[in-house]
């Protein structure tokens, strides 16, 4: 009977300890059940760490904040009992960042929250592009977003780009959508292009960027390296001729 009682007694003490010993984080916006705070770019996130009672966590207990593995610098009046941290404005680099509050004297007593920063692609405005016939045309759209965009489409003069007929190659690495024409033809490739990215988040909708492409006549390019090689050959030939006739030149000069 005693052997059965001791484990139960130990578990009851452990349960009481978990209720009275530790730290907790309160936040605006609120943290969800998974310890994640949903926010957006340019918003503000306020975090408050509170020590939760018990003999080990008195009001004069010093608290420490970490952003990922880096210590957050706190003022002297913001370290004991309750301690707050403000993230303002929220930036791209805050996405996935974990903020941890722990006791200074006991690093095992801690609480953590992670930021999930949502944002749509930064697509806007218009860009002027001039390209020669038979040259390569490359158009790029920044589609970096959280969560990732649900779709990306390209139009030319209001119609969906025909990749096969118009000789285009479309690539997407999750960060950039790139439309390429390896051999430009004025009749096929000149006009107004639009890159359209759609976000799965309600309220973000579509973001677009426009490209105005002008195709100009191909210019005849002078081959530089053959010209340089020819000049070098002529100079060396002249130098060798002078050296071979050096003795006769000296006699003429006397």
pLDDT of residue 223: 61
Contact 113, 47 (CB under 8 A): yes
- Asked whether the domain spanning 126-216 has the same topology as the one spanning 21-118, the reply is yes
- pLDDT beneath 50, residues of the chain: 1-20, 54-57
Cα(128)–Cα(138) distance, rounded to whole angstroms?
Answer: 12
Structure tokens at 10: 């130990």
Contact 132, 217 (CB under 8 A): yes
Q: Where exactly are the structural domains of the chain? A: 21-118, 126-216
pLDDT of residue 22: 81
pLDDT of residue 220: 61
For the domain made up of 126-216, the CATH class stated in words is mainly beta
pLDDT of residue 166: 85
Which CATH number is 21-118 given?
2.60.40.10
pLDDT of residue 142: 96
Q: Give which of 49, 48, 50, 56 is closest to 21, Cα–Cα.
A: 56
Tens digit of each residue's pLDDT (9 = 90 or more) over 47-93 = 999 887 644 445 568 999 999 999 999 998 899 888 999 999 999 99
Angle formed by the axes of helices 246-253 and 224-244, to 10°?
60
pTM of the model: 0.70
Q: Any idea what the Cα angle at residue 166 is, between residues 160 and 168, rounded to 5°?
A: 85
Structure tokens at 31: 């943290």
């Amino acid at each position: 009977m005693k052997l059965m009682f001791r484990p139960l007694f130990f578990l009851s003490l452990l349960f009481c300890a978990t209720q009275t010993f530790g730290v907790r984080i309160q936040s605006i916006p609120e943290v969800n059940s998974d310890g994640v705070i949903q926010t957006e770019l340019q918003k503000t996130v306020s975090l408050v760490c509170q020590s939760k009672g018990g003999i080990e966590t008195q009001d004069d207990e010093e608290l420490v904040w970490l952003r990922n593995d880096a210590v957050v610098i706190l003022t002297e009046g913001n370290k004991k009992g309750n301690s707050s941290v403000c993230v303002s404005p929220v930036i791209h680099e805050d996405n996935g960042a974990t903020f941890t509050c722990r006791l200074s004297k006991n690093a095992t007593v801690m609480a953590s929250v992670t930021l999930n920063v949502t944002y749509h692609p930064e697509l806007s405005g218009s860009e002027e592009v001039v390209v020669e016939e038979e040259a390569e045309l490359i158009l790029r759209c920044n589609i970096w977003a959280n969560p990732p965009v649900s779709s990306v489409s390209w139009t030319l003069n209001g119609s969906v780009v025909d990749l096969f007929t118009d000789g285009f190659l479309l690539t997407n690495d999750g960060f950039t959508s790139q439309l390429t024409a390896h051999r430009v033809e004025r009749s096929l490739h000149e006009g107004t292009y639009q890159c359209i990215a759609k976000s799965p988040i309600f309220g973000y909708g579509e973001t677009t960027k426009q490209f105005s492409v002008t195709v100009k006549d191909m210019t005849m390019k002078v081959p530089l390296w053959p010209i340089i090689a020819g000049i070098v050959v002529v100079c060396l030939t002249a130098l060798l001729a002078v050296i071979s006739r050096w003795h006769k030149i000296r006699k003429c000069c006397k």
